[in-house]
């Protein structure tokens, strides 16, 4: 049984080790979640070029002003070429709103009308602002209304490898528009657009299947305008998405009653349409708008997302399948191998990824790191986990063997509380006192109702026991580790007694459990309490012949009190030169404790009236018994009280005479 328990414990530890080695396959770190998501994020650009013909007063002029450009963020929802972004990002191309045409006309006025007049007067832009504004107002009044505009809208998607893809809007749910009465206009929708680019193998993001909860981590990926236009950054800033981090901070509804998820993750113009992913790399929501102050500045901490379940509803009746991609499994495997520091395998897997869609920024960076580690392997740390596992396994074997041996030794042992439970349940066991003859004669205590069975008779096979073979038997002794009980119990089982148990702790275990005992002879109550709390084998014994002095009045106590284990002791004291007998004390009485309590000399003589055996109780042991055995303390106080009453009575009688 011990070996079987050890094997079972080893199997459990091996299972735990296996689960630890595979835990990374089920839980993503923040770094891994972001790495898996980033390649699927792309820059979406809506560009409107136009040829505009207008008359500034010198006849018709055709110019091509700087294009109107709106940038935002998109992400592949399906790796076959389907992307999600905000409708307001692609709205200039999709519906060509009048305000876009107006912006282009204003640029054309500057180019066709304002700049020639300024040059003719020898002025540059900004040199005479008041003159420039007047020229612009005059030209706008003449040219804006009559201008003819021929637009060339174009929608593109830029991947992080520099690949520029033409895109087409396949589904469009307009953004919310607010009218002059500060109410939403008819036709306001979910602010989502589904784009299509040419067929290919692209990374894709899946949608979470659970509703966001307050405090959920959120990572927003996108192309904020402040980064794209930063004068200190080179043009590569347009290729790689930025990441900001925060959490879900609330739930709101928009002006037409649609659900929104609020987040404190920072965002800016250009993040529109970008995915917000959780720590599982799945899309939690799509950023739709930020919050502005009265002056028009972005107020961070109050940004809003379209929840993932609305995105799922939006693409439901389209060919797009969220998260479907041939790219994803290879990329995930490569990232896991890299983070697990399995660099040769990671390099090989990432090379496969790069063949599917070459030169994505994150893939190239991961490949470079893996190749560098293959060429220059980092120093390997000491394998503490495996060393710990090995030590644990060895310890488990050792402890398993120890527990197995303990179980084997204790399989027939029974606790005092279990004996009481058996009695209360009606299955009263037969209690057998199997102490050695010496121990039996030495101790005056026994378990209530116990039968005496000499272990030597059992060993010789010359015993008789009036007990049915199927009845429960409990043996007890005072030997170390219940050795005498164990031998006797084994012999009884060999003689056909099937239910023989060993009382764990023996007589001492029973008394330590505060269970009742009885005396073989008439003991005073104080003696009964003392014997219940003493281990006789550990006590010093002293023997005195009849007439010998045990201690003298006035002598130092030497830190010792006594229990009379056998015989009779006289207590005498000298009064006015006369040596008087105060009383006699027998078995079980405590003698000499007064000097220890008073920390003074002996107050009387103790003389053996018969041959006497005394048990020595040291001061430390007596002090412990007084503090920890309240019943013994009560008995000592009761005896002292009786002595005081008796002394007062004797003094009263002496005075009366």
Instruction: Calculate the alpha carbon distances from 456 to 438, 453, 460, 472, 520 in Å.
Output: 12, 9, 6, 22, 21
Sequential DSSP letters for 305-338? EEEHHHHHHHTTTSS--TTB-SHHHHHHHHHHHH
Q: What percent of the chain has pLDDT over 90?
A: 40
* pLDDT average, residue stretch 468-491: 89
Domains 30-314 and 413-519 belong to one CATH topology: no
Q: What is the pLDDT of residues 513-562, one digit of tens each?
A: 878 888 766 677 777 777 777 665 557 889 999 999 999 989 998 989 99
pTM metric for this prediction: 0.56
3-state secondary structure 418-442: HHHHHHHCCCCCEEEECCCHHHHHH
How many Å apart are CA 262 and CA 247, to the nearest integer? Answer: 9
The CATH class given to the 30-314 domain equals mainly beta
Q: What is the pLDDT of residues 51-83, one digit of tens each?
A: 999 988 888 989 999 999 999 999 999 999 999
Nearest partner of 547 among 605, 465, 599, judged by Cα: 605
How many Å apart are CA 461 and CA 472, to the nearest integer? Answer: 20
Nearest partner of 83 among 236, 198, 253, 210, judged by Cα: 198
Q: What percent of the chain has pLDDT over 70?
A: 93
* pLDDT average, residue stretch 260-275: 92
In the CATH hierarchy, which fold is given to the domain comprising 536-656? Jelly Rolls (2.60.120)
413-519: CATH superfamily: Rhodanese-like domain (3.40.250.10)
Greater confidence (29 vs 195) lies with 195
pLDDT above 50 for 114: yes
- Cβ 127 vs Cβ 114: under 8 Å: no
* pLDDT average, residue stretch 262-283: 92
For residue 282, the number of C-alpha atoms closer than 13 Å in the C-beta half-sphere is 19
Nearest partner of 348 among 338, 340, 359, judged by Cα: 338
Q: What is the pLDDT of residues 408-418, one digit of tens each?
A: 777 888 898 88
pLDDT above 50 for 310: yes
How many Å apart are CA 31 and CA 338, to the nearest integer? Answer: 12
Task: List the chain domain ranges.
Answer: 30-314, 327-375, 413-519, 536-656
For the ranges 145-149, 180-184, 205-209, the maximum mean pLDDT occurs at 205-209
Q: What is the mean pLDDT of the chain?
A: 86
Q: Look at residue 535 in the predicted model and tell me its pLDDT.
A: 64
How many Å apart are CA 413 and CA 98, to the nearest integer? Answer: 95
Q: Which of 29-33, 227-231, 277-281, 284-288 has the lowest mean pLDDT?
A: 227-231
pLDDT above 60 for 15: no
pLDDT above 70 for 299: yes
Position 329 confidence tier, pLDDT thresholds 50, 70, 90: very high
How many Å apart are CA 357 and CA 203, to the nearest integer? Answer: 9
Q: Look at residue 192 in the predicted model and tell me its pLDDT.
A: 95
* pLDDT average, residue stretch 286-307: 85
Position 656 confidence tier, pLDDT thresholds 50, 70, 90: low
Position 575 confidence tier, pLDDT thresholds 50, 70, 90: confident
Q: Look at residue 153 in the predicted model and tell me its pLDDT.
A: 95
Enumerate the β-bridge partners of residue 560. Answer: 618
Q: What is the pLDDT of residues 367-406, one digit of tens each?
A: 999 999 899 888 877 777 788 888 888 888 888 887 777 7
Q: Which of 280-284, 385-389, 494-498, 606-610 has the lowest mean pLDDT?
A: 385-389
Position 43 confidence tier, pLDDT thresholds 50, 70, 90: very high
Position 362 confidence tier, pLDDT thresholds 50, 70, 90: very high
3-state secondary structure 554-609: CCCCCCEEEEEEECCEEEEEEECCEEEEEEEECCCCEECHHHHHHCCCCCCEEEEC
Q: Look at residue 38 in the predicted model and tell me its pLDDT.
A: 93
Q: What is the pLDDT of residues 418-438, one digit of tens each?
A: 888 888 888 889 999 998 887
Task: Write b or e for each residue in 109-132: b if 16 or more Cβ atoms lie within 10 A of its Cβ, otherwise e.
Answer: bbbbbbbebbeeeeeeeeeeeeeb
Q: Look at residue 475 in the predicted model and tell me its pLDDT.
A: 94
């Amino acid at each position: 049984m011990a070996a079987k328990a050890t094997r079972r414990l080893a199997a459990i530890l091996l299972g735990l080790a296996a689960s630890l080695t595979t835990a990374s396959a089920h839980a993503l770190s923040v770094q891994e979640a972001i790495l898996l998501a980033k390649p699927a994020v792309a820059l979406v650009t809506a560009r409107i070029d136009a040829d505009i013909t207008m008359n500034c007063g010198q006849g018709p002029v055709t110019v091509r002003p700087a294009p109107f450009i709106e940038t935002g963020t998109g992400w592949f929802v399906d790796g076959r070429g389907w992307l999600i972004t905000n409708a307001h990002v692609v709205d200039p191309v999709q519906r060509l709103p009048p305000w876009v045409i107006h912006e282009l006309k204003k640029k054309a006025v500057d180019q066709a009308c304002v700049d020639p007049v300024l040059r003719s007067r020898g002025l540059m832009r900004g040199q005479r602002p008041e003159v420039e504004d007047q020229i612009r107002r005059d030209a706008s009044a003449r040219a804006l209304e009559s201008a003819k505009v021929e637009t060339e809208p174009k929608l593109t998607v830029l991947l992080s490898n520099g690949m520029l893809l033409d895109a087409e809007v396949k589904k469009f749910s307009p953004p919310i528009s607010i009218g002059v009465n500060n109410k939403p206009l008819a036709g306001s929708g979910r602010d989502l657009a589904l784009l299509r680019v040419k067929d290919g193998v692209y990374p894709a993001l899946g949608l979470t299947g659970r509703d966001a909860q307050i405090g959920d981590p959120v990572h927003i990926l996108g192309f904020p305008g402040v980064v794209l236009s930063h004068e200190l950054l080179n043009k590569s800033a347009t290729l790689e998405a930025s990441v900001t981090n925060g959490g879900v901070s609330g739930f709101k509804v928009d002006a037409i009653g649609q659900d929104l998820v609020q987040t404190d993750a920072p965002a800016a113009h250009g993040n529109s349409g970008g995915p917000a992913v959780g720590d599982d790399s799945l899309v939690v929501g799509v950023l739709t708008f930020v919050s502005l102050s009265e002056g028009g500045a972005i107020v961070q901490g109050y940004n809003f997302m379209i929840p993932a379940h609305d995105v799922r509803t939006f693409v439901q009746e389209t060919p797009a399948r969220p998260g479907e991609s041939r790219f994803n499994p290879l990329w995930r495997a490569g990232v896991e191998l890299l983070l697990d520091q399995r660099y040769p395998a990671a390099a090989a897997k990432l090379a496969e990824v790069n063949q599917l869609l070459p030169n994505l920024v994150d893939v190239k960076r991961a490949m470079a790191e893996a190749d560098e580690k293959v060429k220059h392997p980092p120093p390997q740390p000491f394998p503490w986990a495996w060393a710990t596992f090995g030590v644990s396994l060895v310890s488990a074997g050792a402890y398993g063997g120890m527990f197995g041996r303990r179980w084997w030794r204790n399989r027939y042992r029974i606790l005092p509380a279990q004996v009481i439970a058996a009695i209360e349940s009606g299955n009263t066991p037969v209690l057998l006192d199997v102490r050695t003859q010496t121990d039996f004669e030495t101790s005056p205590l026994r378990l209530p109702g116990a039968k005496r069975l000499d272990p030597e008779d059992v060993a010789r096979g010359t015993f008789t026991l009036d007990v049915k073979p199927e009845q429960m038997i409990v043996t007890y002794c005072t030997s170390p580790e219940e050795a005498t009980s164990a031998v006797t119990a084994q012999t009884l089982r060999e003689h056909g007694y099937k239910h023989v148990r060993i009382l764990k702790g023996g007589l001492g275990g029973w008394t330590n459990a505060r269970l009742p005992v009885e005396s073989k002879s008439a003991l005073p109550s104080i003696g009964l309490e003392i014997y219940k709390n003493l281990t006789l084998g550990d006590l010093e014994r002293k023997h005195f012949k009849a007439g010998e002095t045990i201690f003298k009045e006035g002598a130092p106590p030497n830190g010792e009190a006594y229990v009379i284990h056998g015989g009779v002791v006289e207590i005498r004291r000298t009064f006015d030169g006369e040596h008087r007998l105060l009383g006699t004390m027998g078995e079980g009485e405590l003698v000499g404790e007064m000097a220890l309590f008073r920390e003074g000399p002996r107050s009387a003589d103790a003389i053996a009236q018969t041959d006497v055996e005394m048990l020595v109780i040291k001061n430390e042991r007596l002090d412990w018994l007084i503090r920890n055995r309240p019943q013994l303390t009560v008995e000592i106080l009761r005896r002292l009280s009786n002595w005081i009453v008796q002394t007062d009575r004797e003094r009263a009688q002496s005075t009366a005479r």
